[in-house]
Amino acid sequence: MASIRLVSSRTHQRGDLEPMSPRIRICLLALTAIMIGSSAAYAEGPRLRSDGSLVSGMVGYSSHESKNTGEQIGGGTWSFNYSRADVGRNWAAGIVVRRMDTDEQITSVSGETTYINAARLIVAMQGRWFATDGRLTSYLSPLAGIHLQTTDTSVEDGIEFRDSSYTFTMGISAGAMFHLTDAVFMRGEYTFHYFAKSDTIKNNHMHGLYAGLGFQFGGS
């Protein structure tokens, strides 16, 4: 049982607050600069519903860095967005619901394999600053809300346990949508989330890639 407790500690103990790496800072600054420059030239924005709202959903894959091994792990993801744009149609504010799953295997020195499945649900208020050039829309989106996480851990001998918790999160994402049609688009983004610490969530941040196929409802 000692090895199980050790793995559980590694699963949820993410360490003290870690400074953002220089590479992440450079990426976020560069994406912000691109958005500022491009929005000056393109302000039409994506097609909106007649009431000025934008409703979209997406299914795809997310990949994030494991705090256990430092490797990239990932799983299925889906999201739903509802937002309302201003008259200039290059800024919108609304709500996002996002689900992300990650599956991970960790093999100890003794050869025992631990299987970890983490399901994350984020419900947040989200702003979206976007710029459009033909079928391509780039965007920068800050958000703040609630992060719920359920983690299932099992080992080869069948012992299992589950941890559930919630905490406050804030973050920012930058990405692009390429419209195949008015209603269907491909989407990819880089996302950074900061988490307030709780009794069971010790990690202070999560970052990674998020991509998939999206659907836009309505449009005027």
CATH code of the domain containing 94: 2.40.160.20
The predicted pLDDT at position 123 comes to 92
**pTM exceeding the 0.75 threshold for the entire prediction:** no
Give the range among 119-123, 164-168, 187-191 with minimum mean pLDDT. 164-168
Q: Which long-range contacts (CB under 8 A, 24 or more apart) does 105-110 make?
A: 106/7, 106/10, 106/68, 106/69, 108/3, 108/6, 108/7, 110/3
Residue 56 to residue 215: CA distance in whole angstroms? 5
Q: With the C-alpha atoms ordered 193, 201, 76, 10, is the resulting torsion angle positive or negative?
A: positive
The predicted pLDDT at position 195 comes to 77
pLDDT digits (tens, 9 = 90+) for 85-142: 665 567 888 899 998 888 888 877 777 788 888 888 899 998 888 887 878 888 899 9
The predicted pLDDT at position 11 comes to 37
pLDDT at 36 over 60: no
Identify the three-state secondary structure at position 81: strand
Q: Identify the domain containing residue 20 by its residue range.
A: 2-217
The predicted pLDDT at position 182 comes to 75
As beta bridge partners, residue 154 has 115, 160
The predicted pLDDT at position 8 comes to 36
Give the range among 131-140, 189-198, 208-217 with minimum mean pLDDT. 189-198
Cβ–Cβ under 8 Å, residues 65 and 208: yes
Confidence of residue 9 (pLDDT cuts 50, 70, 90): very low
Domain count within the chain: 1
Q: If we measure between CA atoms, which residue out of 202, 107, 91, 208 comes closest to residue 155? A: 107
Residue 220 to residue 51: CA distance in whole angstroms? 9
| Dihedral-angle region of residue 157 (phi above 0 means left; psi in -120 to 50 means alpha; beta otherwise) | alpha
Segment 25-49 mean pLDDT: 49
| Joined tokens for residue 126 | 């989200």
- DSSP state letter for 2: H
> Residue 147 burial by CB count (10 A; 0-12/13-18/19+): exposed, middle or buried?
buried
pLDDT at 47 over 80: no
The predicted pLDDT at position 118 comes to 84
Percent of the chain at pLDDT > 70 equals: 65
More confident residue, 131 or 21: 131
Residues in the chain: 220
| Joined tokens for residue 211 | 């991509």
Confidence of residue 27 (pLDDT cuts 50, 70, 90): low
